[in-house]
A and B are shown apart, each in its own frame.
Chain A
Amino acid sequence: MTESRTVVEMRGITIRFPGVLALDGVDFCLRAGEVHALMGENGAGKSTLIKALTGVYGIDRGTIAVGGEERVFGTAADAQGAGISTVYQEINLCPNLSVGENVMLGHEPRTLRGIDWRATRREATRHLASLGLHLDPQSLLASHSIAVQQLVAISRAMVLDARVLILDEPTSSLDREEVDRLFTVVRGLRQQGVAILFVSHFLDQVYEISDRITVLRNGKLVGEYLADRLPRSDLVSKMIGRELDELEAISASAERSIDRAATPVLSAAGVGKKGVLHPADLDVYRGEVVGIAGLLGSGRTELVRLLYGADRPDSGTIAVHGEPARLSTPRHAIDRGIAFSSENRRAEGLVPELTVAENIVLGIQARRGWLRKLRRAEQEAVVSEHIRALDVRPPDPNRVAGDLSGGNQQKVLLARWLATAPELLILDEPTRGIDVGAKADIQRKVAELAARGLSVVFISSELEEVLRLAQRVVVMRDRRQIGVLDSSSVDVDGVIEYMATEGEGSVA
């Protein structure tokens, strides 16, 4: 394709919410046969722009033209009718229907006697196969992995004859292999002339797949660039509007020396659970950050859930400060000064309808019991201190927590745990799906707290992050602990190499 045809043209889009100008005169174009990445920090206006394009939000000013024709989308169905389909991070299909039913929902071939199920299955199989998916259309959607479900969602979009496909954070819960598969499909669609809008926080993936990048900041357009003419550091500084030396400055923290002659804060020996995790050992010392490196499904989350009592181990012993402890529920762990922030922010962390203040004090209040309510003055002090320390935006304790952006929700959860003054903080993917600025804030906070004596177990898919913060890195693969590395003696490639090959063959 030499001259790309413009499919969607948004001009001067302005959307105002009570108290905020969410989008301020933003222009945005999507061209046929191109992958266009929309980049920006949380709260920059990415989701608002997508919601304007998909008819979820009405626009206060500006125009949207699809295929050269000006359109007003009152509902999401209007946008879909115009050929704009969206695949969200949280898949919005019906998990209890079959794959075929999901793909064809509402477009099943019919005969006089109703739906022709045989033809429906055949059509579904054809659509799936065109994306290289060979699934049984009669299998239950929920029985497939998130990655496959995402691909099913894309096939569904293709059934709707989408000219524009919006992929909103499609890769945040996929592992590398699954991402490759998704990208193969995306490249195929690009060949067919579909205009693709891609949103992701993973810079590598953005550069891998995108032809063009548009950057938003604080509801304003920063600019549109060709991906191969925009160096990565320029992109990041355009997104956050400040130079990116901040993350680098944190790196010194990993080089602190840790006193490992003392009794570990937490000591786990042979902790495991049948079918979930092979027995693993872990010692965490005072002031130490222990990273856990491993792919999704390697057992990293399973391990920390067993340590916290979120799931019950069926083997092994745990000692806190040298004393044997039975951590069979989260409460036991909390009472011993252990805090755990789940990787699944929305399902297992936030209480979205409660306010920021209530979410922050929930941990303390749970510990005190319902009878001893935190006094108003104490509550205000705790809440305002943590909102300030973590730079939660907007700094309004009475705002409903579910309305905050992902990064700020994560800060609220971190605040909840820090407010309980734990001795050991377990963070499972605390920086997933959040913007660079919030990521830096959280990393800096972790480094600072560890320097003051807090012990931390830090899980992240981003190995740079793990190596930057942790003194030791536990490496996991296939639900098994395969080794512990000293972070000063390895780099990212070293960890990847170790993760991929160490112990290969010895496990039969």
Chain B
Amino acid sequence: MSNLLRHRLFWPALSLVALIALNTAVRPRFIQITVRDGELYGALIDILRQCAPLMLVSLGMTLVIATRGIDLSVGAVMAVSGAVALTIIDGSADPGSVGTVLVAIVCGVGVALVLGVWNGFLVAVLKIQPIIATLVLMLAGRGVALLITDGFITTVNSKPLEFVAGGHLLGLPFALFIWVAATVAIALAERRTALGMLTEAVGINPEASRLAGVRSRGIILGAYVASGTLAGVAGIIYSSNIRAADANAAGELIELYAILAVVLGGTSLMGGKFSIAGTVIGVLIIQTLQSTILFLGVSSAESPVFFAVVVVIVVLIQSPRVHQAARRLTRGRPSRPAPELRTEAEVAP
């Protein structure tokens, strides 16, 4: 039991379960999953579908934060990627063809990858502070997206594109497969190879890593490229969902939600040790919370405050200081008698 309590994912997971339990208590319908035409529906399924863009962005953010960095440009990269892809589809003779959509997606994600390289170059090679380096693109990116769409919201009518966010595969939302695949790919890349350990080493002590011969430049660059690319995919999903490229609204504030998800998942903003599973839980907490707001019918004026209050509670639940205080309260007064008992017990034999 105490091992379970000490596991770094225990409190994030508990927060998620508590949030789901709260919803279910208010309206039992929340955990119902129904089958229609062989496809699964329900509030939980919606959460798994809708979280895809935030999930992809947060996975990238986790890697960047592990290197002691931060990527503020992810929202803007989403906008650019969506704009590129939808402009291609919009301009093609046959917007409904799978080939066109695939080309458009590859181009959109490709441009996002290049933007990731740009961020990585500024941070890893030119040694510009990450917050400043990515701020450049955060501010400029949406302008680029507007240039691509000529200042309009490009809307398209394309079945293959709609499938990305709205389609089903094996009864489950297709978007779920995208983020699960991305999560598994990243987890394997980090833990089956030495990338995870080297990334943590660079994040914890860059100078020691350099002197140990770690090629930190490549590792840091790689993290920003991954972040950019994943944001690109997230941009495609977002555009698919609204069937339009909206340069202003795509991925708005998502960088901040992604940072929140990473932190909720137990990865420190100081860099170093990171947890992919933690980030997944962090994203699910945020998405569940947003569904809760809709589900409970919180008015749009009240919802930011509601969101903020719940986030504060979740953060407090995870705080080691709060745990200490709680322990002190439940045990009456202090730690003093307890260790003494323990000492006697162990010294006796």
Contact = CB atoms under 8 A, between A and B. Distances in A.
A115 interface: no
A367 interface: yes
Contacts of B201: 351, 354, 358, 362
A366 interface: yes
B200 A349 contact: no
Interface stretch (A97-105, A124-132, A340-348): A340-348
A348 B207 contact: yes
Contacts of B210: 310, 330
Contacts of A374: 194
Interface residues of A, number: 34
Contacts of B342: 16
A363 B343 contact: no
A308 B210 CA distance: 12
Given A16-B343, A363-B213, A373-B193, A350 B205 contact: yes
Nearest to B218: A370
B205 A370 contact: no
B195 interface: yes
B302 interface: no
A60 B342 CA distance: 10
Contacts of A358: 197, 201
Interface residues of B, number: 29
Contacts of A367: 213
A60 B208 contact: no
A310 B211 contact: yes
Given A61-B340, A358-B197, A373 B211 contact: no
Nearest to B270: A353
A351 B205 contact: yes
Given A330-B210, A373-B192, A373-B193, A366 B215 contact: yes
B339 interface: yes
A371 B213 contact: no
Contacts of B214: 362, 366
A464 B337 CA distance: 50
B343 A61 contact: yes
A58 B336 contact: yes
A155 to B, nearest CB: 31
Contacts of B335: 58
A347 B205 CA distance: 7
Nearest to A341: B211
B34 to A, nearest CB: 45
A331 interface: yes
Contact of A370 (B198, B204, B272, B340): B198
Nearest to B219: A370
A508 B340 CA distance: 68
A351 B193 contact: no
B193 A353 contact: no
Interface string B315-349: 00000000000000000000110011011001000
A60 B345 CA distance: 13
Contacts of A310: 210-211
A349 B211 CA distance: 8
A23 B70 CA distance: 43
Contacts of A176: none
A48 interface: no
Contact of A353 (B200, B211, B340): B200
Nearest to B199: A370
A362 B198 CA distance: 8
B197 A354 contact: yes
A365 interface: yes
Nearest to B200: A354
B207 A370 contact: no
Interface string A180-208: 00000000000000000000000000000
Given A61-B343, A352-B204, A416 B272 contact: no
B212 interface: yes
A61 B207 CA distance: 42
Contacts of A373: 192-194
Contacts of A365: 194, 197-198
Contact of B208 (A14, A348, A371, A372): A348
B273 interface: yes
Interface string A358-385: 1000110111111111100000000000
Interface in B154-200: 192-195, 197-198, 200
A334 interface: yes
Contact of B213 (A331, A348, A350, A370): A331
B212 A362 contact: yes
Contact of A60 (B207, B212, B340): B340
Contacts of A350: 205, 208
A342 B211 contact: yes
Nearest to B214: A366
A198 B204 CA distance: 32
Contacts of B208: 342, 347-351
Contacts of B241: none
Contact of B194 (A16, A342, A353, A368): A368
Contacts of B207: 347-348
- Residue with the highest number of chain A CB atoms closer than 10 Å, among B201, B214, B335, B340: B214
Contacts of B192: 373
Nearest to A420: B213
A352 B193 contact: no
B211 A330 contact: yes
B215 A331 contact: yes
Nearest to A335: B213
A425 to B, nearest CB: 13
B120 to A, nearest CB: 16
B210 to A, nearest CB: 6
B196 to A, nearest CB: 9
Given A58-B336, A60-B339, A61-B343, A366 B204 contact: no
16 contacts: A16-B339, A16-B343, A58-B336, A60-B343, A334-B213, A347-B205, A347-B207, A349-B208, A349-B211, A351-B209, A352-B204, A354-B201, A362-B212, A370-B198, A371-B193, A373-B193
Closest 8 CB pairs of A and B: A366-B213, A334-B213, A373-B194, A366-B214, A370-B195, A60-B339, A370-B194, A365-B194
Interface of B: 192-195, 197-198, 200-201, 204-205, 207-215, 219, 272-273, 335-336, 339-340, 342-343, 346
Given A348-B205, A352-B205, A416-B212, 10 more contacts: A310-B211, A330-B211, A330-B213, A347-B205, A350-B208, A351-B204, A351-B205, A353-B273, A362-B197, A366-B212
